[in-house]
Amino acid sequence: MTHLEVGMFQTLAVAVVSIYFGDFMLKRFSIFRRYCIPSPVVGGTIFAIVTTILFSTGVLSFKFDYTVMNSFFYNVFFAATGMGASLSFIKKGGKLIIIFAILAALLAFLQNVLALGVGTFMGMNPLVALMAGSVPLTGGHGNAASFGPLAESMGGTGALEVAIAAATFGLIAGCIMGGPLGNRLVQKYGLNKTSTAIKEDGGTNNTIKALVNSKRAHHAVFILLLACGIGQSLFLLSKILLPGINLPIHVMSMFGGIILRLILDTIRGDHNELYQSIDIVGNISLSIFVSLSIVTMKLWQLAELALPLMTILVLQLVLVWLFCYYITFRACGKNYDSAIISVGHSGFGLGAVPVSMATMTAVCNRYHYSHIAFFVVPVIGGFVSNITNAVIITGFLNIAQDML
C-alpha cells in the first residue's frame, strides 16, 4: 500500500475544499438542509468515506498533519464564544449551568449502566464493555486514549482499540443526530414562531457591514488572538495552582474571551458591530475545525467492532436521543434555548464539544441564534463534564474489575 504524507497546509486545504463540497451538497439535496446537517460534516464525511475505501482496498493511506491547525481554530472559536457572554448574560446562565451539569453527569452514568449491563449479558469482558459507555462517548477520543490503557492494565485486553473505535462511531453519530433532534423539537413545539429566522445566505445587512469594515475585522481577529493568549496563560496557571486537575485549554480560551468582553463592556460606545465581526471569525474557525476533525477520521476502525459492541452503541444512540429529547429539553426550560442545549447535549454526549457546536450552529442557522446555549454547553461539555465523567468512570472501572 502507498502511504501519502499530507502536510499541514495541504490538510487545511482539504478541509476547506470539503466545506465547499458540503455547501454544494446542501444546495443540491434538500434533505441535508431539512435535518440541519452542517456542511463541514457532509463534505468531511464523504471525504472520510473515500479515504476509508482507498485504505480498505489497499490502494492508498493518508497521514494528515492537522494537530496544530486543529488546536488553533478550536481555541479561536471558543474565544469567540466567550466574547458573546456579557455580565447580565452570565448571571442569566447560572441556573442553567447547574441543571445542565447534573443532566450531563446523569447521562454519563446511564451510558455506563447500559454498556456494562448489555455487555455482561452478551458475554463480554466487563472492562471492555465499559469502553462503549461514557469513556468514548461523553468523554470522546481524549478519554478513550486515557482510560483505554487503564482498563487494559486492569485486565481488559483490547480495551484501548475498542474505546478509540467507539469514540469514532460516536463522533459520526453525534454529527448526524443533533440536527434532526433540534429540528424536531423546534417544529413540534412551534419554537420558531416568536423569532426571526436567519437567511441561508449568511445573515443581515448589519452582519455584512461588519464583515466588510476593515478596521472592525482587524480588531475582531486581534481581540480573539489576545483572548487565546490569555487563555493559555490561565491554562498554565491552572497547572500550578490546581495540580492533578485537567482544565482543557479551549475552555481557558473561552474564559479569556469572557474577560475581554467584560472589559470592552466597560468602555463607552456601541460595540455590537465589533461583536458581529467576532462572531463571523468564530464561525469560520468552527467550520474549519469541524472539517479538519472529520476529514482526518479513520472510519475503518469501525469495521473492527464486533456485534456485541455494535449492539451497545446502537442502544447508546437510542438512550441519548430519548434523554435529550424528553429530559434535557424539559429540564432546561422547554423553550427554544433548551432545544438548542438539547442539540448540544447530544453532540458531546456522543462525540465531543466541537460536534455540539457544529450541530447547534446548523440548527441556529435555520432558525435563530441562542446565546445562552452557546455559553452553557461549552462550559459543561468542555469543563465540568470532564471532571464528573472521570469520577463516574473510575467508579464503574472498579465495579467492572470486581466482576471479573
CA distance 361 to 355: 10
Alpha helices in 6-86 (DSSP H): 8-28, 30-34, 39-56, 67-83
Confidence at residue 327, expressed as pLDDT on a 0 to 100 scale: 97
Highest mean pLDDT, choosing among 87-91, 96-100, 201-205, 349-353: 96-100
294 has which bridge partners? none
CA distance 79 to 54: 37
CA distance 379 to 257: 13
Alpha helices in 84-213 (DSSP H): 87-121, 126-129, 140-153, 159-188, 205-212
| The residue to which cell 482496498 is assigned | 57
Give the contacts of 270 (CB within 8 A, at least 6 positions apart): none
Question: What is the pLDDT averaged over residues 118-123?
Answer: 92
Question: What is the pLDDT averaged over residues 290-298?
Answer: 83
Confidence at residue 110, expressed as pLDDT on a 0 to 100 scale: 97
Task: Please compute, for residue 56, the number of CA atoms within 13 A of its CA located in the half-sphere on the CB side.
Answer: 13
Share of the chain above pLDDT 70, in %: 90
Residue 124 near residue 308 (C-beta atoms within 8 A):
yes
How far is CA 172 from each of CA 45, 100, 143, 298, 349, rounded to the nearest angstrom?
A: 8, 23, 17, 11, 12
> Of 373, 302, 281, which is closest to residue 333 (Cα–Cα)?
373
pTM: 0.75
271, burial (CB in 10 Å: exposed 0-12, middle 13-18, buried 19+): middle
CA distance 197 to 209: 19
Given a cut of 50, whether residue 203 has pLDDT beyond it is: no
| 256 membership: H or E segment, kind and range | helix 249-265
Q: What are phi and psi of 5, to 5 degrees?
A: -85, 125
Average pLDDT, the chain: 85
Residue 381 near residue 348 (C-beta atoms within 8 A):
yes
Query: pLDDT class for 88, splitting at 50, 70, 90?
Result: low
> Of 91, 88, 83, 82, which is closest to residue 272 (Cα–Cα)?
83
Question: What is the pLDDT averaged over residues 205-223?
Answer: 71
Query: 11-20, 64-73, 197-206, 363-372 — which is least confidently predicted?
Result: 197-206
339 has which bridge partners? none
Identify the DSSP state of 36: T
Question: What is the pLDDT averaged over residues 59-72?
Answer: 90
CA distance 184 to 346: 14
pLDDT digits (tens, 9 = 90+) for 5-18: 999 999 999 999 99
6 has which bridge partners? 64
Q: 366 or 213, which is more confident?
A: 366
